[in-house]
Amino acid sequence: MAYKRNHSKIQSEKTKFRRTSKWMKFRKMMKAAQVVDPITGSRLSPTCNLHHKDLNPDHYTDISDKEKFVCLNKTSHDVVHFLWQAHCGWRKAVLSLVAILKSMERINKM
């Protein structure tokens, strides 16, 4: 779903919100509760991202539902956004990625 608002204004509002004590406390609480990156299984880094699953910019400051957030290490966070924005759609992109990895596994006899 596309949200039609000025992109730079939205980014500015998001940055401002992430500097608030409300956000910092919420992020700290979420990180303490999660500990592990769910994609890689590795321990969360001190600089992990608290990812908003709800991409509607009007909901960005609503931290009332913890299910709408997940802690991710930087590369995992980048991958989630990369796949979400894939031209062919995230489902097809993930299936193609799995096929490539399976092929690599076979070739490398793992």
Q: Give the span between the Cα atoms of 23 and 80, in whole angstroms.
A: 21
Can you give the pLDDT of all 110 residues of the chain as single tens digits?
555 557 788 999 999 999 999 999 999 999 999 999 999 999 999 999 999 999 999 999 999 999 999 999 999 999 999 999 999 999 999 999 999 999 999 999 97
pLDDT at 35: 95
**CB contact at 8 A, 68 and 55:** no
Specify the residue for token string 């490398």. 108
Hey, what amino acid is at 49? N
Amino acid found at 73: N
Q: pTM of the full predicted structure? A: 0.86
